Structure 1
Amino acid sequence: MTPNPLRPGQAAANPRRPFRVGVQFFLAAALALLAVPALAQQMPSSSLAADSADGPAAATSTMLPEAMSLSDRALLLATDLNRLLAPGSSDAAANVPPAQQGKIASVLQRAMALLGTPYVWGGTDPNKGFDCSGLVGYVFHNALGIDLPRVSREMAKSGELVTDRAKLNAGDLVFFGRRGRVDHVGIYVGEGRFVHAPSRGKDVQVSNLDTGYWSAKFMQARRLDGI
């Protein structure tokens, strides 16, 4: 028997549809931040201890570029992720095996829902603030149940080293430092950008890995098991 042909306008089954739906939900959550403060997010508190010594001790006008507005960052992220999911995308995340795509979407959803949360030294709580490793630890603990070391220099020993910067996948951990010592960590989101809690006086934001301050401080990247 010949299968019924597709009706006009009916799309064929897409094996990546669950991932696309998950990321579309994530985009909606990111854009919803335009209307509500980030600290209004009702998310479970992390059990991680607040004893971090991560990140630059203080922000200065020469350390970071002028922060983009929350609205601009959310819209930029939405544009980038739509391009990421487009057929034939060259971004490394498009080549992630289907079994891992749902995990990556969960990590990105959790991380980007925290845009605008203030930096707090030693912070691990979305209702109070994060430092860099507190943010990363919170995201992976709540998104995937993965417990990471508390500080960035110990996180830099986790998972598999990604030796080629051009082959980063969304969900990889990216590490930065000075004088050969790791002191900062973020989560790669694709298209040369990563989400992180930069320093005192700044909020959780998306920054560029390929140009500017953070490009010069990049040290290594790590891919956790299953990501």
Structure 2
Amino acid sequence: MTLRTTTILVATGLLALGACAPAMDGTGTAPGAGMTRTQQGALAGAAVGALYGANRDDDSSGRGRDAARGAILGAAAGAVAGNILDRQAAALEQSISNPNVQIVNHGSYLQVILPEGILFATGSAAVSGPAQTDLYAVARNLNQYPNSRVEVIGHTDNTGSAALNQDLSQRRAQSVAGILAAAGVNQGRLAATGRGFNQPIASNATDAGRAQNRRVEILIRPTQ
């Protein structure tokens, strides 16, 4: 089987997977927007697997066969990973009591966004009691799904000097990571980083925007 023929077959398979999802409804929604993470993971895995399989050896004698096998294995692995993230995100949503905590499933990783207002007093890096309860819930979830690395990232608004905000964001990230570790998360999985005011998600020109920028994010990235 030629590489071109196999590429067509793989593309056909990808289209078949995509057909499981709702089609674009004419509102400008991007293809795949209505798909589950399992379906998106299968599509991505199939594409990566096909490319890997097609290029796994130096000659082209078995490249078509390898591309097809790679697509099948990649689709299966991607579907499993997407399904796990779906289930982990749903479990997090059920276990966290504060409605101001946002959980975003990006398909390849989960993002937990905790506003400053539920975590810290102004200028402080000491985590409040109610927020600790939710962080313990996050820790239980991380222990239930152990195959991931966890990045805890602190952010501030632009009030004050860059040095002051960098230090505060680092201490806050370390405080959150410390609670996750105290709740049983393996420290080898955890990394704490302060970004100061370098990554705003809203305008610092308004009170509401600055409040959004003052946050800690927990990024959960699967390792298998």
Report the TM-score when normalising by structure 2.
Answer: 0.24
**Higher relative helix content:** 2
Structure ranking higher on relative contact order (CA contacts 8 Å, 6+ apart): 1
> Which is higher, the Rg of structure 1 or of structure 2?
2
